[in-house]
Amino acid sequence: MSKVVLNNVNKIFGNGFHAVKNLNLSIDSQEFVVLVGPSGCGKTTILRMIAGLEKITEGELYIDDKLMNNIEAKDRDIAMVFQNYALYPHMSVYDNMAFGLKMRKVNKKEIYNKVTETAKSLGIDDLLTRKPHELSGGQRQRVALGRAIVRNPRIFLMDEPLSNLDAKLRVQMRAEIVKLYHKLNTTFIYVTHDQTEAMTMGTKIVVMNEGVVQQVADPQTIYDKPANVFVASTIGNPQMNFIDARVAKEEGGIYLRFGTFKVKMSADVSELLLKSGYIDKEVIMGIRPENIMLDQENKREALSLKLELMENLGSENILYFEIMDSSLVVKAEPKYRGAIGSYMNLYFDVDKIHIFDKETKEAVI
């Protein structure tokens, strides 16, 4: 149960690549923090600096208020689970799980008790005599997790541990890791590029891009109130729709105009746009696919758009329309079906519209 604090941390590699830029991050004890972002954004480098596998170029790393910059990896009491499992191929499952304890000179009886108890909890107690090549991908991942668990570390670091598994097994292992987190009551720091893993597993999400933290918040806040266009496009599946628009003050209120269409803003949003000086300015309007409704009976003022494509997922349909030379994606109930090429009436939930500054890409609303 350990708190991790990174103050103004930078990582610059020998070739001059600035992988992590001025990172300030506080991870409380017993939090499950997920670092999410595209490949090369610096999330694995952060994990390796916490583990002691990479030297920090500038800044300080504290674990439980103790400066760790010059503490060797073996002395940090941290367990790391890698993407490729990193099991010893010549050792049995039992010996792989026991290896760290043997290196620490733990007595054989305690090693046996810890390994067998952990293996049973992970459902691999019948595999202890096998070698890694005799196991499936999911079984090897459980062994890697078990090897970390038996050490009873104060911090678990996980670097995309599920990326090599098939879709069904990823869902199963996601649930098992979350159960493990609640059982152990310790600090987890998890790296992934999968926004679904981030949303379903983390108590806190850190969205990264090009070595810079974009937003830190709980999953629902990240989803409901993205700090900028990058965060809004990273979290959510299908991703948020973005439409270039202009803020217009007209008789009857303040509108977002795009092409021949316009959407009237609520009184609160109108006041904010007015006070912030956005009247007659270009902005980016964001709207999530589930916040666009279909009005087949044409009972209200709506956008009429041509259906370009429909994906039937059983529990829902994903509809694709063309608007202003770009695609507009709508998530709809299965009852909403239309012929490709037909026109359908759409309206936006104005309370769920996001507005971003056209130049900075930062959220206005």
Query: Where along the chain do the CATH 3.40.50.300 domains lie?
Result: 4-234
Average confidence (pLDDT) over 258-282? 92
Phi-psi region of 77 (alpha: psi -120 to 50; beta: other; left: phi over 0): left
pLDDT digits (tens, 9 = 90+) for 151-191: 888 999 999 988 877 888 888 888 888 988 998 889 999 99
Q: What is the pTM of this model?
A: 0.90
- 324-354 as b/e: b if 16+ CB within 10 A: eeeebbbbbeeebebeeeeebbbebeeeebb
Number of alpha helices (DSSP H) and beta strands (DSSP E) in the chain: 9, 20
pLDDT at residue 336 tops 80: no
Query: Which of 35-44, 202-211, 260-269, 277-286 is predicted with the least confidence, judged by mean pLDDT?
Result: 260-269
* Residue corresponding to tokens 């999400």: 205
Task: Please tell me the predicted confidence (pLDDT) of residue 326.
Answer: 81
Q: pLDDT at position 151, please?
A: 85
CB 307 within 8 A of CB 357: no
Check residue 338 and give its pLDDT: 76
If you average pLDDT over residues 294-299, what whole number do you get? 63
- Cα separations in angstroms, 52 against 15, 35, 55, 285, 317: 20, 17, 7, 43, 47
CATH number of this structure's domain 241-357, picked from the four choices 3.40.190.10, 2.40.50.100, 3.30.460.30, 2.30.30.230? 2.40.50.100
List the beta strands (DSSP E) in 210-337.
212-217, 241-250, 253-258, 261-264, 282-287, 292-294, 303-312, 317-323, 326-332
- Given a contact cutoff of 8 angstroms between Cβ atoms, the answer to whether 310 and 340 are in contact is yes
The per-residue pLDDT for range 245-258, each reduced to its tens digit, is 999 999 889 999 99
**Residue 14 above 70 pLDDT?**
yes
Start and end residues for every CATH 2.40.50.100 domain found in the chain: 241-357
Residues 40-62 have a mean pLDDT of 96
The confidence score (pLDDT) of residue 109 equals 93
Give the pLDDT of residue 300: 53
Highest CATH level, class, for 4-234: alpha beta
Q: Hey, which residues does 343 pair with through a beta bridge?
A: 306
pLDDT of residue 296: 58
Q: Measure the CA angle with vertex 19, ends 66 and 199; round to 5°.
A: 80
Ranges 18-22, 276-280, 295-299, 359-363: which has the least confidence: 295-299
